[in-house]
């Protein structure tokens, strides 16, 4: 009987979840990626409600990963490279609290790692990092049409002009982590 490897979980919000999801689907050791919502006060929010910016939720991705292949620290280093953690409630033209930079942690160890990586990445950015580090809250999976969105719609305008450059940056910068 083989030993079962523990699965790690990371929950990250870095703007539109289509962008973050598209990158992590290509990361070696990431075994599952789902787009969803976290951090708000409405039960079972819809995309339309979250986009209205009144629910308090952020668009996030929930990653499951094999820590024997990729570490939580490496996942966070990718995160801080593929989005701008210095803009409050926005990524590019996407503006609103649902697009905030946020890390939802599962325990004190993840929180400590997140804060350490943020401190290290502060030297890379010209402005202060505004990423929130919060304890995990209730997870709401986004509607099915949001799952694996970029792979299904690569030529859609937003995907071609916003998502594709983030995926290309990941591929160029983190070849060692590509599947």
Q: Which residues are catalytic?
A: 16
Angle at 71 between CA 126 and CA 174, to 5 degrees: 55
Backbone angles phi, psi at 41, to 5 degrees: -115, 0
Question: What does DSSP say about strands 94-95 and 101-105: parallel, antiparallel, or unpaired?
Answer: unpaired
Q: Is 92 helix (H, G, I), strand (E, B) or coil?
A: coil
- Please state, in angstroms and rounded to a whole number, the distance separating the CA atoms of residues 171 and 160: 16
CB 25 within 8 A of CB 151: yes
Find where tokens 């409630």 sit.
89
Region of residue 166 (phi > 0: left; psi between -120 and 50: alpha; otherwise: beta): alpha
The SS3 call for residue 136 is coil
């Amino acid at each position: 009987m083989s030993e079962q490897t523990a699965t790690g979980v990371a929950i990250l919000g870095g703007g539109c979840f289509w962008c973050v999801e598209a990158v992590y689907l290509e990361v070696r050791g990431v075994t599952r990626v789902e787009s969803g919502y976290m951090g708000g006060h409405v039960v079972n929010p819809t995309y339309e409600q979250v986009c209205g910016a009144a629910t308090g939720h952020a668009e996030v991705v929930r990653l499951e990963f094999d820590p024997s292949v990729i570490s939580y620290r490496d996942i966070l280093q990718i995160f801080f490279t593929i989005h701008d953690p210095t803009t409050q409630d926005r990524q590019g033209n996407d503006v609103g609290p649902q697009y905030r930079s946020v890390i939802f942690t599962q325990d004190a160890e993840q929180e400590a790692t997140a804060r350490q990586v943020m401190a290290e990445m502060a030297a890379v950015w010209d402005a202060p990092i505004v990423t929130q580090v919060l304890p995990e809250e209730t997870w709401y999976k986004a509607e099915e049409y949001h799952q694996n969105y970029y792979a299904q719609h690569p030529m859609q305008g937003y995907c071609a002009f916003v998502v594709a450059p983030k995926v290309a940056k990941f591929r160029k910068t983190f070849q060692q982590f590509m599947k």
